[in-house]
Chain A
Amino acid sequence: MKFKPKKLGLLVGLALAATGSAAADETTGLTDDSIKIGVMGPFSGNASSYSKAEIGLMAFYQMINDEGGINGRKIVAVQEDTGCDPAKALAAAKKLIHQDEVFMLHGNSCSGAAVAIKPEIVDAGLPWIVAHAVSDTISVPPVENIFHGVPTGNTNGEAMAAFVLSKPDTKKVAIVEHSNDWAHSYSNPARAYLKGHGIEPVAELVMERGQTDATAQVLKLRQANPDFIIGALYEAETAIFLRDMKKYGLDTPVMGTAGTDLENTLKRVGDLDTVKNYFVLHPYVDNLDGPLMKKWADMIHKYYPDEELTNFSYISIGSGVALVEALKAAGPDLTRSKVMAELDKIENLDTGILSSTITWSPEEHRGAKSSAVAGFVDGQPTVLKAWNTPY
């Protein structure tokens, strides 16, 4: 077998010439009657419960299609699984962009996966609305084609601290948290907010994941005697912490993250008395079973009758409402640039589902800048703007 280096060089040269990133085409993924949108989410794996967000979003698309579509076009959702894994998410993004040739991307739970695909999407230049992942790294500093449609980590942390300080005469605040970045993404902005209001935490405690007893933390907190506790803990540890607080007679209010759900926490601890002073971030306009959320629940069940609804099911719909507004405004001669320009014009949009309005501008692509809080008032879960102030 004789090997000819010149031929090999030619082959390699041809291969290299055949590559190179294709310039973003303004109308890729569009036909006269359809808009192809890539929806990435963790539809498999340990974090697959997050994919309820993408299912809610796809139900919303179907509702828009049933109502006639947008400027004569129906949305065609192309679903891709990220498994919450950065490498798998990168493959999914490349497939949607280069093989399925979608017009834009929407969705994405899991911050790690979203951060991993960001450079690919920046290079490709197509619009991407992040509809569940919360890391500020995704949309800060702002990039022309990436829009955040849910409250980010900073917003959530600040909202927690703001609610804590809305309780009259709150001077002493304690923090109990996991030692991971997830917890820090809530606690650090909360600390900064408190500091900005002249408050240093009276106690900062760690409760590790998987810990089944919080006696040490609770006894230290009893000694510190705070007016409010910020708890950046996962749901299981939150239940243990609240249980031990009750056990040692500590009835200080606790402000939890969006990673816990009020009703689920009640189910875990088993009695209302233990959770009566527990508050969580709640990004919606009403309780999940409240009248303002009913139409969204009915919408999801219309298209996915067997879908079990959770806190995650609704989180991406608000950004869907914003997208539809932008697509309508961009008109029938749609291009990617027009959509991005229209997204940048969205200001104080009341989505009817998120408690925060959405505002995007070329300088700021974090659209949802606040979050409501949910807590039990007279034994009923209630959405609150501030302490004792219903939404």
Chain B
Amino acid sequence: MQTSTGTLSKRRRIFWLVPLIALALPLLTNPYTQFIANAMLIYTLVTLGFSVVIGNLGQLAFANTAFFGIGAYASAIASTNLGLPWLATVPLAGLAGAFGGFLASAAALRGIRLYYLAIVTMAFGELMRWFYTHTGVLTGGTDGLPVSRERDFGLALTSDTVQFYVFLIITCLLVAGTVNLLRSRIGRAIIAVRENEIATASLGIPTSQIIVTAFMWSGFIVGIAGAMFALHTGRVFPESFGLTQLIVNFAMVLVGGLGSVAGAVLGAVALTALPEYVRAFPGMEEIFFGVIVMVVLLVMPKGLASLLARVSPIFQQRYHRD
């Protein structure tokens, strides 16, 4: 028991070391590299939310991009059309994303599974994109919707550095929240649904509620990431939430490791940073993505997170998908 507690405590301390070190990052960056670092934090949350549904809950659902767009547009509409400060739009974006998660979970609750669920949820994402494009009065249509970046509770949010610190705090809170959720009774039930839904139900666990909860938590996280994305780019466009975005996010989950929180962080950081190195070679990015996903799946099917687990057992996660 002492060993287990000691390991847990050590893992928690190591977890907090990462953001502490990251605090010094702006000393080493220029506005471009800072922009990329900020994108890493956003995609960490997107990947984490995706991983909760696809890796931990075990549902082949691709509504992730829809949650991302819903959060981004909720934030942009609330800040630009309603005049709310961006920080106040963050919880709204999370709630809007959670509502998107609730809608997406309806398909899973109807017993739709596997490829059928994948198609239905992808259609949901495309439907949302159609909505953003064709409701110009609300969303700005194809011209996009600007996000107000005036001073926000005393913070100059136009600065990439200030954005970085705000994003870092939000990301840490949501990553810690997800870790705690997955460790909780609900988290164990989520994993149980993944392993055997019928057996889980036979134990008296309300599997429908568990599925809805996982989808809504995923939507909440990704919706907040959407609000961060809206601030990050300053303007949201429908094309930012299409199939390309979905493929990139899916690659991040696979490369990081399905169902692994550390993997979500690693996958997002790696696949946000590495394509920047192939910028100078137009057209190479698509090839790069394809090759890296194939290599990771062939060489380490559990993703980059499995490398960490090899370094030390303290990185092993019970809810990681084998």
Interfacial residues, chain A to chain B (CB-CB below 8 A): 1, 3, 8, 11-12, 14-16, 18-21, 43-45, 48, 51, 79-81, 83-87, 90-92, 94-95, 97-99, 111-112, 115-116, 119-120, 123, 135, 137, 179-182
Contacts and interface: CB of A to CB of B under 8 A. Distances in A.
Interface string B126-157: 00000001101000011110000000000000
B24 A81 contact: no
A21 B235 CA distance: 20
Given A81-B282, A87-B233, A179-B134, A94 B276 contact: no
Contacts of B26: 15-16, 18-19
A85 B32 CA distance: 16
A92 B35 CA distance: 10
Given A21-B31, A94-B32, A95-B279, A12 B23 contact: yes
A14 B161 CA distance: 11
B27 A182 contact: no
A184 B296 CA distance: 45
A179 B158 CA distance: 34
A12 B169 CA distance: 13
B237 A86 contact: yes
B207 to A, nearest CB: 37
Contacts of A90: 35, 233-234
B127 to A, nearest CB: 15
Most chain A CB atoms below 10 A, which of B36, B142, B158, B285: B142
Given A44-B282, A94-B35, A116 B23 contact: no
A91 B35 contact: yes
Contacts of A21: 31, 159
21 contacts: A3-B20, A11-B23, A12-B23, A15-B24, A19-B161, A44-B286, A81-B282, A83-B285, A85-B240, A87-B39, A87-B232, A87-B240, A98-B31, A99-B33, A112-B142, A112-B239, A115-B143, A116-B237, A180-B141, A181-B143, A182-B142
A99 B30 contact: yes
Nearest to B13: A1
Interface of B: 13, 20, 23-27, 30-36, 39, 133-134, 136, 141-144, 158-162, 165, 229, 232-235, 237, 239-240, 244, 276, 279-280, 282-286
A115 B30 contact: no
A118 to B, nearest CB: 9
Tell me the dominant secondary structure on chain B's binding face.
helix
A79 B282 contact: yes
Contacts of B143: 111-112, 115, 135, 137, 181
B233 A86 contact: yes
Given A44-B282, A116-B235, A119-B234, A14 B27 contact: yes
Nearest to B33: A99
Nearest to A119: B234
A112 B31 contact: no
A115 B142 CA distance: 11
Contact of B32 (A11, A86, A91, A181): A91
B237 A112 contact: yes
Please give me the 4 A-B residue pairs with the lowest Cβ-Cβ distance, nearest first: A43-B282, A19-B161, A15-B26, A94-B32
B165 A12 contact: yes
Contacts of B235: 86, 115-116
Contacts of A3: 20
Contacts of A20: 159
B229 A87 contact: yes
Nearest to A3: B20
Given A15-B25, A20-B159, A90-B35, 10 more contacts: A1-B13, A8-B23, A11-B23, A18-B27, A81-B279, A87-B233, A91-B39, A91-B276, A112-B239, A179-B134
**Most chain B CB neighbours (cut-off 10 Å) among A3, A12, A15, A137:** A15
A43 B159 contact: no
Contacts of A83: 285
A23 B121 CA distance: 47
Given A81-B279, A86-B239, A98-B30, A45 B244 contact: yes
Contacts of B286: 44
Nearest to B236: A86
B38 to A, nearest CB: 10
Nearest to A86: B237
Given A85-B239, A90-B35, A98-B32, A180 B282 contact: no
Given A43-B283, A98-B32, A11 B141 contact: no
A15 B161 contact: yes
B237 A16 contact: no
Contacts of B141: 180-181
Contacts of B285: 44, 81, 83
B31 A94 contact: yes
Contacts of A115: 143-144, 235
Nearest to B283: A44
A16 B280 CA distance: 30
B27 A15 contact: yes
Nearest to B25: A15
A255 B278 CA distance: 42
Contacts of A86: 144, 233, 235, 237, 239-240
Contacts of A95: 32, 279
A83 B276 CA distance: 13
B181 to A, nearest CB: 25
A83 B159 CA distance: 25
Nearest to A94: B32
B284 to A, nearest CB: 8
B71 to A, nearest CB: 15
B33 to A, nearest CB: 7
A358 to B, nearest CB: 25
